[in-house]
Chains A and B, each alone.
Chain A
Amino acid sequence: MPWQVFSTAPERHNMLDEKLKSVAVIGAGGKMGSGIALLLLQEMARLDTIKYGSSGSGHYRMTLIDANEDALFKLKEYLKTQLRKFAEQGINRLRQWFASNKQLVSNQEMVESFVNGAMDMIEFNRSAKHAQLVFEAIVENVKIKAEIFKSLSNPHAYFFTNTSSIPIDVLSREGQLGNRIIGFHFYNPPAVQKLLELIPPKNVDPKLHALAIELAERLKKNTIVSKDVAGFIGNGHFMREILYSFKKAEELSRIYTLPQAVYMINKVTQEYLIRPMGMFQLIDYVGLDTCRSICDIMRAYLPDDRFKFPELNYRVPADKCDNILGPLPEGHRPWKLMQKEPQALDSYFQHLYESQTMGSQLAKEFLKNSMEISNGLVSDGVASSLDDVEIVLKQGFYHLYGPKYLAERKLPCAV
C-alpha cells in the first residue's frame, strides 16, 4: 500500500469497531433496510478511512440481503447517491478523517475515494454467515423472521432486529438466538429520524447491550429504552390510540353517520390535538394491513383482550360536518404553524379546556385517553418515565407535546 496506518494515538481495542468489520443487513431493499444499510455503511466507511487511510481498504465488509432482487439493484444507486450527499455535506469532517492520507488532497478526491471505497465494501449475497453483526428489517412476521435467523446459523453474530412490536424474547426463542439478539428499532426514515427504541430482552448478553448503546450513539441517535413488551413504547401508544379512535367512531356512528363519525374523529385528532395527521389519515398512511398485523402481534403477546382490530368499513375523507364539531378553540394554529410557535400551545390548551363545543369535548377525551395510555406504559415498566414517552411521541410521531407537557401544566387530563 502506498500509505501507512495513520493514528498517532495508542492502539485502542474497541469491540464495536471490530464487530463493524463484517455486517449484514437483511431486508436491505426495503424502506427501513436501505436506510439502516446506509447508516451502517457510512460508519464503516468512516472507521475504514480513519484507521486505514481510506474506505474500501478491504478490512470492512457489508453484506446486503433481500428476497427482492429488483430492490437490491435500485439499492446500489440509492446508497451511492446518499453516500455522496453525506460526504459532501460533511466535507469538513471528511477532510479530518482523510487528514493523514497524503494522496488525497482536494475535496473531490476525498469525496470520490470515500464513496467509491464504501461501495466497494458491499456484496450482495443470500448468506450472512461471515457477519459479526446482523441487522434485520424484514416483514413483521415471527415465523418468517425466525426462519431467517435459523437459516443464518451464525453462532457468533449479534443480531439487531428492527421489529416495532414483536417481543425480542419471542424472536430469540423462535430464532434460536439465545442472548445474542436485541431490539434496535429505527423510525422512518432511518437516515433522518433521530429516535431509536432500544429493547434489550431480559437476559441479553451484556456485551451486546453495551455494543448497541455505543452503536446508537455513533449513529447519532436519540435512544429511548423500552421494556421488552409487545408494541414497546411507540406502537404501544399508537395502537392503543387507534383502538380508542375506532371505539369513539363507532360510538358517534350511533348518533351520526359512520362517515361523519370518521370525519369528526379525524378532524379532532388532527386539528384539536394539533397533530400532523388525523388518526384515520395516519392509519391509511401507515397502511390498514400493517396496523392490523401490529394489533394481532400485540394481542398475541399481551395479556389483554382489547387488541382486536375492528372491522370498520370506512373511508377517508368522509363527510365534512364541521358544524357538529363547532368552531375551533381560540388560539388554534395548524400543526405546521404551531411548530414554529410552540409557546402558543399554553394559551391554546387554556382555551380548549374552556370551550364546550363537541369538538373540544372529544379532544379532551382523547387527551385523557392518551394520558392514561402513557401512564400505563410507565406503570407497566415499558417506558421508564413520561419523559421517554413524550420523546417517542414527539420525535417518532411528530407530536408537538406529550404526557410530560400535559402533566407539568396540570391540565385536567393529567390530573
Chain B
Amino acid sequence: MRRLRKKVFAAAGYNTLHFGPGRPEFDPAKPMPTFDTYLQDTAAGTCKQLQNPIFDEGVIGSFMSGRFIKQANLPGFLPFMVPSLAGKPCTGVEGACGTGGRAIATAIRSVLSDMSDKVFVAAFEMQNTLKPIYGADVLAGASYYQKERKTGHAFFFPGVFAERANAYYNKVGYDLVRPALAKWYEQAILNARKNPKAQEYHNTSKDLFSLGMSPPDPDRFIPYLNHYDCSKVTDGASSIAIYSEEGLREAGIDKQNCVEIIGIGEAEGDITQPPKDLTILSNTQIAVKKALQMADLAVQDIGLIEVHDCFTISGLLSIEALGLVKEGQAPAFIMEGQTATQGRHPVNLSGGLIGFGHPTGASGVRQLVDLWQQLTKIAPNQIQPRTPYGLMISMGGNDKTVTCCVVAI
C-alpha cells in the first residue's frame, strides 16, 4: 500500500458559472461567452485568492475541446490565464469525463516528484457549441467509438447508463430503484438551489420528485431513464492550486485555508471490454479502496462526498462502489435520506453533475473545489461536516478512467 511521500495541499479553488439550458441567461439563438472568457474567469478567480500567484507548473484538462471548439494545444492557454506560467512546463490532460481527476493527479505527481512546489490546475469544457444530438456524437468518443458508436443510442452515453439502470432494475426491483433515482434528482436540485453558480440554481419546479418519476420516452430519447436522470449540457471551468508544504508557504496560504490531499486512488479499465457486471462500478471500487487505504480511513469516516452523477444511476451505483452499503442497498439508503444535506453521509452538496452541471472535462476539478470550500468553511451552502474528511470520485467513460481523492482539513 502506497503512502504519499510528502504532504500535498489544495487551495484557492474557483468555479465559474456553469452555463447552459436551465440558466435564465441561456439562449441558443444568441452568442454565448467563449471559452477564453471562462479560462480567464477561473484563473482570475484562483489567483485573486493568492498573495503570490506565482506557479511552477500548469495543468489544463479538457475532454473534447478539439471537437467542441476545434481547439487543441491547450497548454498554450495556461500562460494566457496565469502570466507567471510563461516559460514554465505546462501539460494538457484528457480522460473523458474523468479529465478533472486526472488533471489533479498529474499535479500531485509533479509535487511528489519534487519537480514543482506550486501547480496551477484548470479544467473546462464548452458543450453548448453543438446541438445536443451532435454533442452526443462527440461525447461518444469516451467509449470505444469505432466499435460502439454505430450500434449505440442516438444519445450515446445516456443510452449506456440506461442499460446499467435496466440491469439494476432487474437485480433489485424497479419499484425500489425508480423512486431512489427520482429522490437523487430531487436532492441534486435542492442542493443546486443553494449554489448561485449552479446550472440548476434557478430551477423552481414544484414537485421535483414527480418530475424524477416521469416515464421514459424511448421514441424521442432513451429507454429506462428520463431527462431528469441525466446531467445537462454545460459550459464551465474550474481551477485550483496544488502545493507542497513549501509551496504553500511561498504562496502565503494559511493551513486553515487549504485542504491536505491524504489519499489518491486511480484505476483504469480496458475501454475495449464491456463491464463484467452492469450493476457494479468495479474500477470506481478499486480507486476508492486505494484512496481510503492511503488515507488510512474507512468510508464511514468521510463527512463530505462528491460523486460523479453524470446520471442518477451512476450516482446510486457510486454509493455502492464506495462501500457505504452492500450491493442492492443503495436505493433504501437514499430513500432514508442518508445522502441528503442533513443526512449522515451528505453527497453532492454542490448539486453534483445533475444539479451544478457537467462541463465534462472540468467536473473533477469542480468537485475538489467544492470539497475545499466546505472544509474551509466558505461554501455558499455551508454545512457543519460530521468529520474533517472529504472524498471525490471523478469518472471517465463507462467506469473506465477513475480518480478518487480523499482530503482533510
Contact B154 A108 (CB under 8 A): no
Contacts of A105 in B (CB 8 A): 145-146, 149-150
Asked whether, in the complex, the Cβ of A107 is within 8 Å of the Cβ of B220, the reply is: no
With a cutoff of 8 Å between Cβ atoms, the chain B residues found around residue A89 in the complex are 220
Interface SS of A by simple majority: helix
- Name A102's contact: one of B150, B153, B219 (CB within 8 Å): B150
In the complex, the answer to whether A95 meets B154 with C-beta atoms within 8 Å is yes
Q: Decide yes or no whether A92 CB sits under 8 A from chain B.
A: yes
Q: CA separation between A111 and B219, bound complex, in Å?
A: 17
Partner of B149 from the list A88, A92, A93, A106 (CB cut-off 8 Å) is A106
Q: Is A91 located at the chain interface by the 8 A CB criterion? A: yes
CB distance from A85 to the nearest CB of B (A): 11
CA distance A89 to B400 in the complex (A): 31
Q: How far is the CB of A323 from chain B (nearest CB, A)?
A: 41
Given known contacts A106-B140, A107-B154, is B149 in contact with A91 (CB within 8 Å)?
no
Contact with B along A104-142 (1 / 0, CB 8 A): 011110010000000000000000000000000000000
Whether B131 sits at the interface, judged by CB under 8 Å, is yes
Tell whether, in the assembled complex, residue A108 and residue B219 are in contact, meaning their CB atoms are under 8 Å apart: no
Q: Which residues 132-173 of B sit at the A interface, judged by CB distance below 8 A?
A: 133-134, 136-137, 140, 145-146, 149-150, 153-154
Q: Which one of B136, B218, B221 lies within 8 Å of A107 (CB-CB)?
A: B136
Chain B residues within 8 Å of A88, by CB: 131, 133
Total number of residue pairs linking A and B with CB closer than 8 Å: 32
Quick one: closest A residue to B145, CB to CB?
A105
How far, in whole Å, are A92 and B219 apart by their CA atoms in the complex? Answer: 7
Bound together, the chains give a CA A95 to CA B151 distance in angstroms of 9
B130 CB to closest chain A CB (Å) equals 9
Residues on B with C-beta less than 8 A from A95 are 153-154
A108 touches B134 (CB 8 A): yes
Q: What are the residues of chain A within 8 A of B150 when measuring CB–CB?
A: 102, 105
CA distance A93 to B219 in the complex (A): 8
Rounded to whole Å, the gap between the CB of B139 and the closest CB of chain A is: 11
Q: How far is the CA of A105 from the CA of B136 in the complex (A)?
A: 12
Count of chain B residues with a beta carbon within 8 Å of a chain A beta carbon: 16
In contact, B219 and A106 (Cβ under 8 angstroms): no
Which residues of A have CB within 8 Å of B131? 88
* B134 contacts A107, C-beta separation under 8 Å: yes
Find chain A residues with CB under 8 A from B134 CB: 106-108
List residues 215-260 of chain B with CB under 8 A from any CB of chain A.
Answer: 218-221
B104-133, CB < 8 A from A: 131, 133
- Nearest chain-A residue to B134 (Cβ)? A108
B21 to chain A, nearest CB (A): 16
Q: Choose among A92, A93, A106 the residue that contacts B137 (Cβ–Cβ < 8 A).
A: A106
Q: How far is the CB of A48 from chain B (nearest CB, A)?
A: 20
Is B154 a contact of A91 with CB atoms below 8 Å? yes
Chain A residue contacts of B145, Cβ below 8 A: 105
Per the bound structure, the CA–CA distance linking A10 and B338 in Å amounts to: 57
The answer for the CA separation of A106 and B154 in the assembled complex, in Å, is: 8
* A108 engages B220 (CB within 8 Å): no
Please give the distance in Å from B1's CB to the nearest CB on chain A.
Answer: 44
The answer for the CA separation of A108 and B138 in the assembled complex, in Å, is 10
Query: Which of B136, B140, B154, B218: most chain A Cβ within 10 A?
Result: B154
B203 to chain A, nearest CB (A): 23
CA distance A106 to B155 in the complex (A): 10
Residue of A94, A102, A106 contacting most chain B CB atoms (<10 Å): A106
B153: which A residues are within 8 A, CB to CB?
Answer: 92, 95
Closest-CB distance, A115 to chain B (whole angstroms): 13
> Which of A89, A91, A102 has most B Cβ within 10 Å?
A91
Given A105-B150, A106-B149, verify A92-B220 contact (CB < 8 Å). Answer: yes
Chain A min CB distance to B36 (Å): 25
Shortest Cβ distance from A87 into B: residue: B133
In the complex, which residues of chain A have a beta carbon less than 8 angstroms from the beta carbon of B140? Answer: 106
Please name all residues of chain A whose beta carbon is closer than 8 Å to the beta carbon of B221 when the two chains form the complex.
92
Tell me, in angstroms, the Cα distance from A105 to B131 when the chains sit together.
17
Alpha-carbon gap, A206 to B149, bound state (A): 46
- Report the Cα distance A105→B153, complex, angstroms: 11
Residue of B nearest to A104 (CB): B150
Q: Give, as a whole number of angstroms, the nearest-CB distance from A96 to chain B.
A: 10
Residue of B nearest to A93 (CB): B219
Shortest CB-to-CB span from A111 to chain B, Å, is: 8
Q: Distance in Å from the Cβ of A325 to the closest Cβ of chain B?
A: 39
Most chain A beta carbons < 10 A, residue from B134, B140, B149, B218 = B134
Which A residues lie within 8 Å of B154 (CB)? 91-92, 94-95, 107
Q: Please, which residues of chain B bring their CB within 8 A of the CB of A93?
A: 219
B137 / chain A contacts, CB cutoff of 8 Å: 106-108
Cα distance A108–B149 when bound, in Å?
12
Contact mask for chain A residues 52-96; partner B; CB cutoff 8 A; 1 contact, 0 none: 000000000000000000000000000000000000110111110
Residue of A nearest to B150 (CB): A105
CB proximity of B153 to chain A, nearest CB, Å = 8
CB distance from B163 to the nearest CB of A (A): 15
List, in ascending order, chain A residues with CB within 8 A of B219's CB. Answer: 92-93
Distance from A189 Cβ to chain B, minimum over Cβ atoms (Å): 21
Q: How far is the CA of A108 from the CA of B221 in the complex (A)?
A: 16
Q: Which residues of chain A have C-beta atoms less than 8 A from B146's C-beta?
A: 105
Closest residue to A96 on the B side, CB-wise? Answer: B154
| Residues of the B chain whose Cβ atoms lie less than 8 Å from the Cβ of A102 | 150
B157 → A minimal CB distance (Å): 13
Q: Which residues of A have CB within 8 Å of B133? A: 88, 91, 107, 111
Minimum distance in angstroms from B129 CB to a CB of chain A:
13
What is the bound-complex CA distance between A94 and B155, given in angstroms? Answer: 13
Complex Cα–Cα for A107 and B131 (A): 11
Give bound CA distance, A395 to B146, whole Å: 46
C-alpha gap A169/B233 in the complex (Å): 57
A-chain residues with CB within 8 Å of residue B218 when the two chains form the complex: 92
B220 contact set on A, CB distance < 8 A: 89, 92
A222 CA to B154 CA, complexed, in Å: 29
Q: Which A-chain residue is minimally distant from B141 (CB atoms)?
A: A106
Assembled-state Cα–Cα distance A180/B154 (Å)? 42
CA distance A93 to B154 in the complex (A): 9
Residue of B nearest to A91 (CB): B154
CA distance A20 to B136 in the complex (A): 34
A105 to B221, CA, bound (A): 18
Tell me, in angstroms, the Cα distance from A92 to B222 when the chains sit together: 9
Closest partner residue, chain A, to B148 (CB atom) = A105
Chain B, residues 68-88, CB within 8 Å of chain A (1/0): the string is: 000000000000000000000
The complex places the Cα of A61 from the Cα of B146 at a distance, in Å, of: 34
Shortest Cβ gap from A91 to chain B (Å): 4
CB distance from A34 to the nearest CB of B (A): 24
| Chain B, 199-224, CB within 8 A of any chain A CB | 218-221
Question: Which 4 pairs of residues, A with B, have the shortest CB-CB distance?
Answer: A106-B137, A91-B154, A107-B133, A105-B150
Q: A89-B220, A93-B219, A108-B134 are in contact. List 6 more A-B contacts (CB 8 A).
A: A92-B154, A92-B221, A94-B154, A105-B150, A107-B134, A111-B133
Interchain Cβ contacts under 8 Å between A and B, 9 examples: A92-B153, A92-B154, A95-B154, A102-B150, A105-B150, A106-B134, A106-B140, A107-B133, A111-B133
